[in-house]
Structures are given as structure tokens and as C-alpha cells.
Amino acid sequence: MIPTSPSPTAQLVQKTLNAYEYACELQRDYIADLINRRTNLPPYEQRYFRILQSNDVRRCETFIHRLLNDKRQHDLAVKGFFYSAQLGSVRLLDYFLTRWKIDINIQQEQDNGYLTTALLTAITYKQNEAAKFLLFRNADPSIKGQYDNALVTALHYQLENDLLRLLLDKNVDLTVRHPDYKNLSLREYCILTNRVKAKVELDAYIIRLINNGNYQRLKWIVDRGYTYINVNVNPKRNGKQLAKERYYEKIVKLIDDVEYAQMKARVKMNY
């Protein structure tokens, strides 16, 4: 209650004050200043992101433990896990996986409505080393996001060949299609979009399969529509010749069957 005027006979009226205004009314300037600084802090999540940007595990741990609720702590740790993938911090990724026991394949919905994993997030933000670390920690590259699996996502965002090689060696499915180019195989997509190095890496994977005599994997790939298995090893040798040199008769026959099927298709189309 405050008087309506300085007069001794003035009426008292009720006035609603917030904490800052009340401190000013009482002329407690230091309290008013403290309240003003506290109420003008950035949002909680923004402060958390800044802590993560410092790449300091100790500060991150302290910040999370300011929340006294275990569920809220865990939810904040999950957010931190995805932010760490976005920032490319291997140190923080290891911290969240080890300290908070977060499932490495946990999924989170993006603003565009698609689900994503930490691996797909790292690839999306072109964090090559973070993506490789997650793969070494057995992240599943076959989980699908906006651009299908991790291999298609890596091709879309044009990540380094060492990551593509690691994904392929993890036997991620290369027979899938880019959602924007559904009529093209991944090899054709790389040629059309001038991703020359990525196309070379796909061919190198096929060569490794032939070189190691991995008939089962080659047959699996062919059965799902990927027919580019007679790739050039060098200008004078192709995959079929390599298989013959190593006496991989089943692989030679597989290549012959693929080429025969392609020849029949061309004749049928009068091509």
C-alpha cells in the first residue's frame, strides 16, 4: 500500500511491485542490481551450449549437477551429447557415453521433423573426427535420418574419404538411394553431382571385396540392385581380371552373370 499523494490525509492504494521495483522502492541498490543481473541472464539452454563450447568436462559436470532432479540431469546430458556431436568434441562425447551411460544410438527429433542420431548429427555438421570416434564406439551407421543411412548422409554433405572408407568397411548398405535421386544408384549419384572422390571410394570398396574374395557380400550387393562390381583396378585391369588372377571363380561367374543381364537389358531396349 502506498499513499496517493504526500498529504497526511491521502488515501492508501494497493500497488503491485516486482522484486526489482520493490528493492528500488526500498532504495536497496545492491539488491536491485543483483536482481537485474540475474533476470537478464541468457536462457538456460544457451548458457549450457556456451559451457559445452568451452570443451571443459568439469564445468559441464558442475552445470548439469545444479539440477537436483535425476531425470532432468539425464535429459540435459542427452542434449549435451547431441550438442557435442554438433560441435565435434570427441572429449565431451566420450564423457557423456562413459559418465552418463547414454545409448550411442539414441535418437532425437530435429526441427524439420526427421529423427537423427549423434552420428548423423556429426556428419550433418561435417565433424569428421567426431563421426569416426562414434563409429569406433560402435554407433550404428544403418539408422536412417533425413538422407537415409550414414553413408548417404556423408555423401550428401561431402565428408572426407576416410570416413566413407570406414563406413563402407562397417558394411553399411550402399544399395540404398539418395531420397532426392531415387532413380540413381549411389555411384550414379556421385557421377551426376561431380563427387569424384566419393565415387572412387565406392569403387575402391568393391575392389577390396574382390581382392579379399568376399563373394557373399558381393552377391548381397548385386541381389539388391547394385551392379557396378566390374570396376577398374587400374587403366589396364578390372575387377573380373583381378578375380581371375586370384582364382575366385564364383566372383568371376557373378560378374559374368551381371554383365550378361545388362547386355540382355540393352538389347531389349534396343540400346
Domains along the chain? 54-166 (1.25.40.20), 174-271 (no CATH)
Q: Residue 16 — very low, low, confident or very high, per pLDDT cuts 50/70/90? A: confident
Residue 103 has pLDDT above 80, yes or no: yes
According to the model, what pLDDT value does residue 268 have?
72
Q: What are the grid coordinates assigned to 136, written together? A: 569406433
The whole-angstrom separation of Cα 196 and Cα 215 is: 26
Residue 120 has pLDDT above 80, yes or no: yes
Q: What are the grid coordinates assigned to 71, written together? A: 531425470
Residue 94 has pLDDT above 70, yes or no: yes
pTM exceeds 0.95 = no
According to the model, what pLDDT value does residue 150 have?
97
Question: For residue 247, how many other CB atoms are within 10 A of its CB?
Answer: 9
The whole-angstrom separation of Cα 40 and Cα 32 is: 12
Dihedral of the alpha carbons of 68, 70, 72, 77, in degrees to the nearest 10: 110
According to the model, what pLDDT value does residue 6 have?
58
Q: What are the grid coordinates assigned to 240, written together? A: 573380373
